[in-house]
Amino acid sequence: MLLRMKEVLVIDIGGTNVKVASSSQLVPLKIPSGPTMTAKMMVEQVKLATKGWKYDCVSIGYPGPVSHDRPLAEPHNLAPGWIDYPYEKSIGKPLRFINDAAMQALGGYRGGKMLFLGVGTGLGSAMIFEGVVIPLELAHLPYRKGKTYEDYVGKEGLDLLGKKRWRKSVLDVIARLKAALICDYIVLGGGNAKLMKYLPPHVVVGENSNAISGGIRLWQSPDERKLLLAVPKESAPIARKAVRRRPAAKRKK
Protein backbone atom coordinates (compact mmCIF):
# COMPACT_ATOMS: atom_id res chain seq x y z
CA MET A 1 0.00 0.00 0.00
CA LEU A 2 1.42 3.35 -1.03
CA LEU A 3 1.36 6.17 1.54
CA ARG A 4 0.14 9.55 0.39
CA MET A 5 2.93 12.14 0.24
CA LYS A 6 2.39 15.28 2.30
CA GLU A 7 1.12 18.28 0.38
CA VAL A 8 3.57 21.04 1.34
CA LEU A 9 2.98 24.79 1.14
CA VAL A 10 6.31 26.56 0.58
CA ILE A 11 6.83 30.21 1.57
CA ASP A 12 10.11 31.77 0.46
CA ILE A 13 10.51 35.16 2.20
CA GLY A 14 12.69 37.66 0.35
CA GLY A 15 13.49 41.33 0.71
CA THR A 16 11.71 42.15 -2.58
CA ASN A 17 9.07 39.41 -2.87
CA VAL A 18 7.54 36.57 -0.91
CA LYS A 19 7.23 33.55 -3.21
CA VAL A 20 4.51 31.00 -2.49
CA ALA A 21 4.12 27.56 -4.07
CA SER A 22 3.17 24.01 -3.11
CA SER A 23 3.76 20.39 -4.05
CA SER A 24 0.98 20.65 -6.65
CA GLN A 25 1.40 24.38 -7.49
CA LEU A 26 5.07 24.46 -8.46
CA VAL A 27 4.96 27.81 -10.28
CA PRO A 28 5.27 30.34 -7.43
CA LEU A 29 3.03 33.32 -6.81
CA LYS A 30 4.86 36.55 -5.96
CA ILE A 31 3.74 38.88 -3.17
CA PRO A 32 5.68 42.18 -2.95
CA SER A 33 7.50 42.55 0.38
CA GLY A 34 10.04 45.26 1.28
CA PRO A 35 10.90 47.29 4.40
CA THR A 36 7.27 47.78 5.52
CA MET A 37 6.26 44.10 5.55
CA THR A 38 5.67 42.54 8.98
CA ALA A 39 5.19 38.85 9.80
CA LYS A 40 1.47 39.43 10.34
CA MET A 41 1.13 41.07 6.93
CA MET A 42 3.03 38.22 5.30
CA VAL A 43 0.81 35.53 6.81
CA GLU A 44 -2.39 37.41 5.96
CA GLN A 45 -1.34 37.99 2.35
CA VAL A 46 -0.17 34.38 1.89
CA LYS A 47 -3.47 33.03 3.25
CA LEU A 48 -5.39 35.34 0.91
CA ALA A 49 -3.26 34.38 -2.14
CA THR A 50 -3.60 30.64 -1.43
CA LYS A 51 -7.30 30.60 -0.56
CA GLY A 52 -8.69 27.29 -1.75
CA TRP A 53 -5.30 25.52 -1.80
CA LYS A 54 -5.12 22.18 0.02
CA TYR A 55 -1.97 21.48 2.03
CA ASP A 56 -0.93 19.45 5.08
CA CYS A 57 2.11 21.38 6.30
CA VAL A 58 4.19 24.47 5.64
CA SER A 59 7.88 25.19 4.94
CA ILE A 60 9.08 28.76 5.50
CA GLY A 61 12.38 29.99 4.09
CA TYR A 62 13.46 32.92 6.27
CA PRO A 63 16.10 35.58 5.43
CA GLY A 64 18.06 35.23 8.65
CA PRO A 65 19.23 32.75 11.31
CA VAL A 66 16.71 30.11 12.43
CA SER A 67 16.62 27.65 15.34
CA HIS A 68 13.92 25.23 16.53
CA ASP A 69 11.55 26.39 13.77
CA ARG A 70 11.69 30.05 14.83
CA PRO A 71 13.61 33.12 13.61
CA LEU A 72 16.49 34.15 15.87
CA ALA A 73 16.90 37.70 14.53
CA GLU A 74 14.89 40.33 12.74
CA PRO A 75 15.43 40.44 8.95
CA HIS A 76 17.59 43.24 7.56
CA ASN A 77 15.36 44.14 4.63
CA LEU A 78 11.88 43.83 6.21
CA ALA A 79 9.96 45.47 9.05
CA PRO A 80 10.55 44.28 12.65
CA GLY A 81 8.26 41.91 14.56
CA TRP A 82 9.23 38.53 13.10
CA ILE A 83 10.80 36.79 16.10
CA ASP A 84 7.81 36.37 18.42
CA TYR A 85 4.99 36.09 15.90
CA PRO A 86 2.76 32.96 16.43
CA TYR A 87 3.20 31.48 12.94
CA GLU A 88 1.79 27.99 13.50
CA LYS A 89 -1.27 29.28 15.36
CA SER A 90 -1.96 31.90 12.66
CA ILE A 91 -1.47 29.54 9.72
CA GLY A 92 -3.18 26.58 11.39
CA LYS A 93 -0.84 23.90 10.03
CA PRO A 94 2.39 22.21 11.21
CA LEU A 95 5.35 24.21 9.94
CA ARG A 96 9.11 24.10 9.69
CA PHE A 97 11.40 27.12 9.46
CA ILE A 98 14.70 27.04 7.60
CA ASN A 99 17.08 29.76 6.50
CA ASP A 100 16.06 30.80 2.96
CA ALA A 101 19.54 30.14 1.54
CA ALA A 102 19.58 26.71 3.19
CA MET A 103 16.22 25.93 1.60
CA GLN A 104 17.55 26.82 -1.86
CA ALA A 105 20.70 24.83 -1.16
CA LEU A 106 18.66 21.75 -0.19
CA GLY A 107 16.73 21.97 -3.46
CA GLY A 108 19.90 22.14 -5.57
CA TYR A 109 22.08 19.64 -3.69
CA ARG A 110 23.42 16.68 -5.66
CA GLY A 111 25.97 15.18 -3.28
CA GLY A 112 29.39 15.90 -1.80
CA LYS A 113 30.29 19.16 -0.06
CA MET A 114 28.38 22.03 -1.64
CA LEU A 115 28.42 25.76 -0.87
CA PHE A 116 25.36 27.79 -1.82
CA LEU A 117 25.58 31.57 -2.32
CA GLY A 118 22.44 33.56 -3.05
CA VAL A 119 22.96 36.98 -4.62
CA GLY A 120 19.73 38.93 -4.51
CA THR A 121 18.59 41.76 -2.24
CA GLY A 122 21.30 40.57 0.16
CA LEU A 123 23.71 37.62 0.30
CA GLY A 124 22.44 34.25 1.49
CA SER A 125 24.73 31.34 2.27
CA ALA A 126 24.53 27.70 3.30
CA MET A 127 26.59 24.54 3.05
CA ILE A 128 25.51 20.93 2.66
CA PHE A 129 27.99 18.22 3.62
CA GLU A 130 27.05 14.60 2.93
CA GLY A 131 23.35 15.49 3.10
CA VAL A 132 23.54 17.56 6.30
CA VAL A 133 22.36 21.16 5.91
CA ILE A 134 24.61 23.74 7.60
CA PRO A 135 23.12 27.26 7.55
CA LEU A 136 25.76 30.01 7.36
CA GLU A 137 25.73 33.75 8.03
CA LEU A 138 28.54 35.10 5.82
CA ALA A 139 26.77 38.22 4.53
CA HIS A 140 27.85 40.62 7.26
CA LEU A 141 31.43 39.49 7.70
CA PRO A 142 33.97 42.27 6.95
CA TYR A 143 35.22 42.32 3.36
CA ARG A 144 36.78 45.55 2.06
CA LYS A 145 37.03 49.22 3.05
CA GLY A 146 34.96 48.72 6.18
CA LYS A 147 32.14 47.09 4.22
CA THR A 148 30.76 43.56 4.23
CA TYR A 149 30.40 40.84 1.60
CA GLU A 150 26.72 41.76 1.24
CA ASP A 151 27.58 45.44 0.69
CA TYR A 152 29.54 44.43 -2.40
CA VAL A 153 27.52 41.57 -3.94
CA GLY A 154 23.97 42.37 -2.77
CA LYS A 155 21.58 44.68 -4.61
CA GLU A 156 23.11 47.83 -3.12
CA GLY A 157 26.52 46.76 -4.39
CA LEU A 158 25.12 46.09 -7.86
CA ASP A 159 23.47 49.52 -7.96
CA LEU A 160 26.61 51.27 -6.71
CA LEU A 161 29.28 49.39 -8.66
CA GLY A 162 27.48 48.68 -11.93
CA LYS A 163 27.30 45.23 -13.53
CA LYS A 164 30.94 44.95 -14.65
CA ARG A 165 32.55 45.76 -11.29
CA TRP A 166 29.81 43.86 -9.43
CA ARG A 167 30.60 40.70 -11.43
CA LYS A 168 34.28 41.01 -10.48
CA SER A 169 33.29 41.31 -6.81
CA VAL A 170 31.08 38.21 -7.06
CA LEU A 171 33.92 36.18 -8.60
CA ASP A 172 36.34 37.41 -5.93
CA VAL A 173 33.93 36.50 -3.11
CA ILE A 174 33.36 33.06 -4.69
CA ALA A 175 37.13 32.42 -4.85
CA ARG A 176 37.72 33.52 -1.24
CA LEU A 177 34.87 31.47 0.21
CA LYS A 178 35.69 28.34 -1.81
CA ALA A 179 39.26 28.48 -0.53
CA ALA A 180 38.16 29.07 3.05
CA LEU A 181 35.44 26.40 3.19
CA ILE A 182 37.11 23.80 0.92
CA CYS A 183 33.93 22.82 -0.91
CA ASP A 184 33.60 20.58 -3.97
CA TYR A 185 31.39 22.97 -5.91
CA ILE A 186 29.31 26.12 -5.54
CA VAL A 187 25.72 26.73 -6.53
CA LEU A 188 25.06 30.41 -7.22
CA GLY A 189 21.42 31.36 -6.70
CA GLY A 190 19.30 34.41 -6.01
CA GLY A 191 17.62 36.85 -8.34
CA ASN A 192 20.85 38.40 -9.65
CA ALA A 193 22.77 35.20 -10.41
CA LYS A 194 21.47 35.41 -13.99
CA LEU A 195 23.53 38.58 -14.49
CA MET A 196 26.81 36.67 -14.35
CA LYS A 197 28.55 36.18 -17.72
CA TYR A 198 31.49 33.90 -17.03
CA LEU A 199 31.86 31.40 -14.18
CA PRO A 200 34.65 28.99 -13.20
CA PRO A 201 34.02 25.28 -13.91
CA HIS A 202 33.25 24.53 -10.24
CA VAL A 203 30.41 27.10 -10.11
CA VAL A 204 26.90 26.53 -11.48
CA VAL A 205 23.83 28.75 -11.50
CA GLY A 206 20.97 27.16 -9.59
CA GLU A 207 17.47 26.84 -11.00
CA ASN A 208 14.83 29.27 -9.76
CA SER A 209 12.79 26.25 -8.67
CA ASN A 210 15.41 25.09 -6.14
CA ALA A 211 13.83 27.00 -3.24
CA ILE A 212 10.48 25.32 -3.86
CA SER A 213 12.13 21.89 -4.23
CA GLY A 214 14.04 22.48 -0.99
CA GLY A 215 10.88 23.44 0.89
CA ILE A 216 9.16 20.25 -0.26
CA ARG A 217 12.25 18.17 0.51
CA LEU A 218 12.26 19.54 4.07
CA TRP A 219 9.29 17.28 4.90
CA GLN A 220 10.67 14.17 3.21
CA SER A 221 12.27 11.34 5.12
CA PRO A 222 16.03 10.68 4.80
CA ASP A 223 15.24 7.63 2.64
CA GLU A 224 13.13 9.71 0.26
CA ARG A 225 15.95 12.27 -0.03
CA LYS A 226 18.40 9.47 -0.88
CA LEU A 227 16.15 8.41 -3.74
CA LEU A 228 16.20 11.97 -5.10
CA LEU A 229 19.98 12.15 -4.89
CA ALA A 230 20.18 8.92 -6.90
CA VAL A 231 18.87 10.77 -9.99
CA PRO A 232 21.53 10.74 -12.77
CA LYS A 233 23.52 13.99 -12.91
CA GLU A 234 22.57 14.69 -16.51
CA SER A 235 18.90 14.95 -15.52
CA ALA A 236 19.43 16.84 -12.27
CA PRO A 237 18.15 20.43 -12.56
CA ILE A 238 21.14 22.05 -10.92
CA ALA A 239 22.74 24.28 -13.55
CA ARG A 240 21.56 26.71 -16.16
CA LYS A 241 23.22 26.23 -19.54
CA ALA A 242 23.01 29.92 -20.47
CA VAL A 243 26.00 30.93 -18.30
CA ARG A 244 29.13 30.90 -20.43
CA ARG A 245 32.66 29.93 -19.49
CA ARG A 246 35.36 32.45 -20.21
CA PRO A 247 36.90 31.64 -23.61
CA ALA A 248 40.52 30.53 -23.71
CA ALA A 249 43.01 33.26 -24.59
CA LYS A 250 44.23 33.17 -28.20
CA ARG A 251 47.88 32.42 -28.74
CA LYS A 252 49.95 35.13 -30.30
CA LYS A 253 51.53 34.17 -33.59
Q: How much is the pLDDT for 220?
A: 80
Q: How many residues does the chain have?
A: 253
Over residues 145-197, the pLDDT tens digits come to 999 999 999 999 999 999 999 999 999 999 999 999 999 999 999 889 999 98
Tell me the average pLDDT across 100-129: 91
Determine the Cα–Cα distance for residues 54 and 162; give it in Å rounded to an integer: 44
- Bridge-based pairing of strands 8-13 and 57-62 is parallel
Determine what percent of the chain is predicted with pLDDT higher than 70: 85
- 252 vs 72, residue with greater confidence: 72
| Torsion, CA 130, CA 24, CA 234, CA 99, rounded to 10 | -30
The tens digit of pLDDT for each residue in 29-73 reads 999 999 999 999 999 999 999 999 999 999 999 988 898 889 999
Q: Where are the domains of the chain?
A: 8-100, 102-211
The gap between the terminal CA atoms of the chain, to the nearest Å, is 70
- Domain 102-211 of CATH type 3.30.420.40: yes
C-alpha 11/C-alpha 33 separation (Å) is 12
Query: Whole-angstrom Cα distance, residue 56 to residue 58?
Result: 7
Among the CATH numbers 3.30.930.10, 3.50.50.60, 3.30.420.40, 3.30.70.20, which is that of 8-100? 3.30.420.40
Interior/surface letters 131-154, b for 16+ CB within 10 angstroms, e for the rest: eebebbbbbeeebeeeebbbbbbb
pTM: 0.79
Of 112-116, 177-181, 222-226, the one with minimum mean pLDDT is: 222-226
Residue with the bigger pLDDT between 88 and 242: it is 88
* DSSP letters spanning 142-185: EEETTEEHHHHHSHHHHHHH-HHHHHHHHHHHHHHHHHHHT-SE
Query: Within a 13 Å sphere around the CA of 66, how many CA atoms are in the beta-carbon half?
Result: 23
